[in-house]
Structure 1
Amino acid sequence: MSHSRRLTAVAALLAGLSVALGAFGSHALETLVTPQRLDTWDTAVHYQMFHALALLWSGLYLQHYPHRGVLTSALLILAGTLIFSGSLYALVLLDVPALGAITPIGGVILITGWFTLAWHLARRH
């Protein structure tokens, strides 16, 4: 399976999980966590969905225009999403505030992924 097909499959999986986790937060967590923690959960869900769509676009782009820089940026966005959203999910579920210290690492990786994508797209065209 090509990198682009794997990426689009992972993107679809992340998007579907985002919907499921959003529903879980709205229905199952609503009475179990504080409103602040529920907002944290919602932030994780939103970031996951937006970046799943970015990964889907990247995978589709790569099917037509294979480019190592775009693949690199997509992998950075994937890693950043897993770390950013994953740390927020863990923070809410485990109620360990120290996990919040991991979230900015994911954010920096996401920013790096977006800047890498911009750099490579600008150079390509």
Structure 2
Amino acid sequence: MILNQNSKKFLAISSFMMALAIALGAFGAHGLKSIVSDSMLIVYKTGIDYHFYNTLGLFAVSFMISMKPDCKKLIISAWLIVIGMIIFSFSLYLLVLLNLPILGAITPIGGTLLIISWLIVAYSLIKE
């Protein structure tokens, strides 16, 4: 299989995001236990979970893009996954690390972008 530029770009982003998810997950599991409350650890873990799941999904979409290189909807959905994942997960990470509850108001924006991105993936696979 020959990968096109968009596939390579999103596979590279996926690889970086996976490494980051592992590092941040390890930090949360080992470095935060003595610093934050159990309820804040759960918030942090939610960010990690969504970070992992959507990174795996981005890997899959990257390969879909290589199979359908002219499908603009898949490329748009890949960018929305990246942006949504950053807004969702990183707002939770920062909420816990900086103890700024106002950041919780940003999290649903990321979640909404993730929902939209996955609906676009479904639509593009059905219609194209």
Q: How does 1:21-100 map to 2 (within 5 A)?
A: 21-66=24-69, 67-100=71-104
- Equivalent pairs: percent with the same residue? 39
Where does structure 1 differ by over 6 angstroms across 4 or more consecutive aligned residues? Answer: none
Gaps of 5+ in 1: none
Task: Specify the alignment match of 1:17 in structure 2.
Answer: 20
Cα distance between partner residues in 2 of 1:105 and 1:69: 20
Cα distance between partner residues in 1 of 2:50 and 2:35: 22
CA offset at residue 62 of structure 1?
Answer: 1.2
Output the TM-score relative to the length of structure 1: 0.96
Q: How many residues align?
A: 124
Q: How does 1:96-115 map to 2 (within 5 A)?
A: 96-115=100-119
Output the TM-score relative to the length of structure 2: 0.94
CA offset at residue 61 of structure 1?
Answer: 1.6
